[in-house]
A and B are shown apart, each in its own frame.
Chain A
Amino acid sequence: MLWEDFIGKRLLLVALSLGLLTHGIIVYFTLPQTYDAFVHIFFADHYSRFWFEPWEYRWYTGFLTISYPPLVHQAVALLGKLFPFKVAFAIYAIIVYEALIIGVYRFTKMFYDKRTAGVAAILAVILSSLVETLHVYGQVPTLTGLALLLNSIPFLYQYLKSSDSRYLVLSLSFIAVVVSSHHVTAIFGMVFFIAPAMLMALVDWKEDLAEESLFKKFVPRLLMAAWEKKVEILLFGIIAIILAVGLIFPYWYWSKTDPISQVSIPHGSRDNFLEVTSSGLVFYIIPLLLILALLPAITFLITRHKRHLGWAVSFFLCLLFGSGGTTPLPKLMLGENAFNILTLDRFGFWASIIAIPYISHFLVSFLSGPIRQYWIGRFGETSHFLLSGLSGFSYLLFIIYIFHLASFRPLQPREVKIEPILNFLNRDDHMRWRYLTLGFGDQMAWLSANTLAATIDGNYHSARRLPEMTSRAVERLENAKYLFEEGMASLTDFLTDSEKYQLKYVFSNDQYYDPLLFYTGWNRTIRLENGIMVWEKGNISTIQPIQPKDIHPILKKAWGILPFTTVAVALLLTFLYLFHFKKSQTEMISPEIVERYPKPVIFLSAWMPFLIFSGFLTYLIYEMLLVDQRKDPESTIYAFYDHLDFQRFEEAFSYFKSGPDYSLDQYLLEKSVKDGGLLPSYAKLNQLEIDTLELGEDRIKYQVNTTWRTSLGPRYLEEEFVLEKNGSHWFILPPKLELEIPKNQVISYDYTLFKKMGKRVISAFPTVKDDRIKKPFAAFFQANLVERDGLTSITGELINADNNPITLALKAEVTFKNDSLAIFYPERKMHYNLAPKATTFFEIPLAKDSTQVYPIQSITLKAETDVTERGYIRGIRTGFEIKEENPNSYLLEIEMENPLTTEITIPGVLIAERDSLGRIIQVELETHPRSIRSGLGTSFRVDLEKKALESVVVEDIPIFLQINGQERSLVLKSWNTEQKIQLLPHCFISPEIYLQ
Chain B
Amino acid sequence: MKKTLSLLMMVWFFSCQSPEVNQPTWINPIQEWRESDGILKFKVQPGDWSVLIQTSSQPILADYQVEEGELRIAYPKNRSFVVGQAYIVLELEEKSFAFPVILNPELGNGKLEDIRSPKTLNTDSSLVQQQMRYSFGKGGNLVPLESGELFEERYISQSDKVGTFAGESDTQLSSFYITAGTPESIPMTIQFDEIQNEFTVLAGPLRDAFQNQISNGTLLTFTIRNSGKTWIIEEVAREGFVRVRCSAERFEGASVHANVAQVFSETLILKKP
Interface residues of A (CB under 8 A from B): 750, 752, 754, 760-761, 771, 774, 777, 781, 799, 801-803, 805, 835-839, 874-875, 877-882, 895, 971-974, 979, 983-985
Contacts and interface: CB of A to CB of B under 8 A. Distances in A.
A895 B229 CA distance: 10
Given A777-B122, A837-B218, A875 B234 contact: yes
B150 interface: no
A984 B216 CA distance: 21
A356 to B, nearest CB: 67
Nearest to B120: A774
Interface residues on B, range: 20 to 34
17 contacts: A750-B236, A801-B182, A803-B215, A803-B218, A836-B215, A836-B236, A837-B219, A837-B220, A837-B261, A838-B219, A839-B261, A874-B234, A875-B234, A879-B229, A880-B229, A973-B261, A985-B234
Interface centre among B119, B219, B234 (most CB of A within 10 A): B219
Nearest to A836: B218
B184 to A, nearest CB: 14
B236 A752 contact: yes
B215 A801 contact: no
A767 to B, nearest CB: 14
Given A803-B122, A805-B217, A985 B232 contact: yes
A838 to B, nearest CB: 4
B170 interface: no
Interface stretch (B46-54, B64-72, B88-96, B172-180): B172-180
Contacts of B236: 750, 752, 835-836, 875
Interface in B195-250: 214-220, 228-236, 238
Given A837-B260, A972-B262, A752 B229 contact: no
Given A752-B238, A761-B173, A837-B182, A803 B217 contact: yes
Interface in B151-205: 172-173, 179-180, 182
Interface centre among B122, B215, B232, B238 (most CB of A within 10 A): B232
A839 B234 CA distance: 11
Nearest to A779: B261
Given A879-B230, A881-B229, A750 B238 contact: yes
Contacts of A878: 231-233
B84 interface: no
B264 interface: yes
Contacts of B220: 837
B118 interface: yes
Contact of B217 (A777, A836, A973, A983): A836
Contacts of A760: 172-173
Given A752-B216, A879-B229, 17 more contacts: A750-B238, A771-B173, A777-B124, A801-B124, A801-B182, A801-B261, A835-B234, A837-B220, A838-B234, A877-B232, A877-B233, A880-B229, A880-B232, A881-B228, A895-B229, A983-B230, A983-B232
Contacts of B261: 799, 801, 837, 839, 971, 973
B28 to A, nearest CB: 40
B236 to A, nearest CB: 5
Contacts of B229: 879-881, 895
Nearest to A781: B262
Closest 7 pairs between A and B when the two form their complex, measured CB to CB: A752-B217, A803-B215, A973-B262, A879-B231, A881-B229, A835-B219, A838-B219
Contacts of A972: 262
A836 B228 CA distance: 29
A690 B223 CA distance: 44
Contacts of B215: 803, 836
A546 to B, nearest CB: 33
Nearest to B121: A774
B232 A754 contact: no
Contacts of A973: 261-262
A765 to B, nearest CB: 14
B217 A754 contact: yes
Contacts of B260: 837
Contacts of B231: 877-879
Contacts of B264: 974
Contacts of A877: 231-233
Nearest to B175: A771
B267 to A, nearest CB: 10
Contact of B230 (A774, A881, A984): A881
Interface centre among A836, A880, A974, A984 (most CB of B within 10 A): A836
A877 B226 CA distance: 14
Contacts of A761: 173
A835 B262 CA distance: 15
